[in-house]
């Protein structure tokens, strides 16, 4: 019996690629060059499973391609707003993601960005690298203390809760959160967290605001000019969620004009095409979408995809089905 045909859109950890070679008739992306729309359409016509990443736009046109063969899209990532879910549902294409396994590493990066922004680490590093440091001074690069401050979380899912634990138990931070649905009360009690009735209330009170909400039309530009103006002048905004949750132009204006003190970003609108305004700023920490970029986590994400497609080809329900 022939093995199912599987196409992978980018390079994956070697351990996972080795398993794919053993289990399937697999086409790997040895060059790691993002696939074009035409290449993705051809993949949909020639494989039984397509394994994209969160940066591969799997549009309705791609899903609706004539003579489609793909029956399952195993997305490498917890987010799946890169996939037209409605089109997949209409066409009967099953979609899975990779939750749970990237929680801690993404929360670590959120805390890293918070600390970098608060203590002006990017600006300080540039001073050293550019040989501009002339020695210690009492007023040089004064940042803001993190311990004991208030962290506001927009969204309160697994990653937000993991960040809250690090911030509360590690840095003694007070935790505020805003989320439409009620979370597990035991977790709220553990963190001594307070739920804000409105997003605006959280923005006006928190010293640090971290985004942990899903992407998509409902949250596009959730953080806009009006909401940035509600934040404290000493506040910092952290984003490890999705780039389009923030209006980039509004944030650049806020940072330039001092509405807020700083920002730490791991995701961007239209990435990898960065709004050039960010490159003119000293008060922003910029990372290239590395929230889950540890060997352990990326391998675990790949294994999660493997488990999902194995279940599907065995006629069973994948654990991480989203449609």
Residues involved in catalysis? 242, 271, 289
Are the C-beta atoms of 74 and 309 separated by less than 8 Å? Answer: yes
- Of 177, 173, 228, which Cα lies nearest the Cα of 204? 228
The answer to whether the beta carbons of residues 113 and 238 sit under 8 Å apart is yes
- 272 preceded by a cis bond (ω within 30 of 0): yes
Structure-token pair, residue 48:
């039984």
**Residue among 96, 81, 46 nearest 66 (CA):** 46
Find the distance separating the first CA and the last CA of the chain, reported in whole Å: 28
The pairing of strands 25-27 and 94-96 is: unpaired
* Nearest-10 Cα torsion for 220, 247, 294, 116: -140
Q: Which helix (H) or strand (E) holds 208?
A: strand 208-211
| Two tokens, residue 242 | 């999705």
35 within 8 A of 29, measured Cβ to Cβ: yes
Cα–Cα nearest to 206, from 169, 231, 239:
231
Distances (CA, A) of 160 to 125, 164, 187: 28, 6, 11
Torsion of CA 166, 290, 101, 56, to 10 degrees: 140
């Amino acid at each position: 019996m022939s093995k199912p045909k599987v196409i992978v859109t980018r390079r994956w950890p070697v351990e996972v690629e080795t398993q794919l070679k053993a289990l399937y008739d697999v086409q790997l992306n040895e060059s790691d060059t993002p696939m074009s729309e035409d290449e993705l359409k051809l993949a949909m016509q020639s494989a039984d499973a397509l394994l994209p990443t969160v940066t591969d736009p799997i549009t309705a046109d791609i899903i609706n391609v004539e003579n489609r063969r793909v029956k399952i899209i195993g997305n490498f990532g917890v987010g799946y707003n890169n996939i037209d879910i409605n089109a997949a549902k209409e066409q009967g294409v099953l979609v899975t993601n990779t939750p749970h396994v990237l929680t801690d590493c993404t929360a670590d990066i959120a805390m890293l960005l918070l600390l970098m922004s608060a203590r002006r680490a990017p600006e300080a590093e540039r001073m050293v690298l550019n040989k501009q440091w002339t020695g210690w001074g009492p007023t040089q690069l004064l940042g803001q203390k993190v311990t004991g401050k208030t962290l506001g979380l927009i969204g309160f899912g697994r990653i937000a809760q993991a960040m809250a634990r690090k911030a509360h138990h590690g840095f003694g931070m007070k935790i505020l959160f805003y989320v439409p649905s009620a979370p597990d009360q035991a977790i709220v009690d553990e963190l001594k967290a307070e739920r804000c009735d409105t997003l605006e209330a959280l923005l006006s009170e928190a010293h640090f605001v971290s985004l942990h909400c899903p992407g998509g039309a409902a949250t596009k530009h959730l953080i806009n000019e009006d909401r940035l103006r509600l934040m404290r002048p000493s506040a910092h905004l952290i984003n490890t969620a999705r780039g389009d949750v923030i209006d980039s132009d509004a944030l650049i204006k806020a940072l330039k004009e001092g509405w807020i003190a700083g920002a730490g970003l791991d995701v961007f609108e239209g990435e990898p095409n960065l709004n050039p305004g960010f490159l003119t700023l000293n008060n922003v920490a910029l990372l290239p979408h590395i929230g889950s970029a540890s060997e352990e986590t990326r391998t675990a994400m790949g294994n999660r995809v493997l488990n999902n497609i194995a279940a599907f080809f065995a006629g069973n329900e994948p654990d991480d089905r989203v449609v």
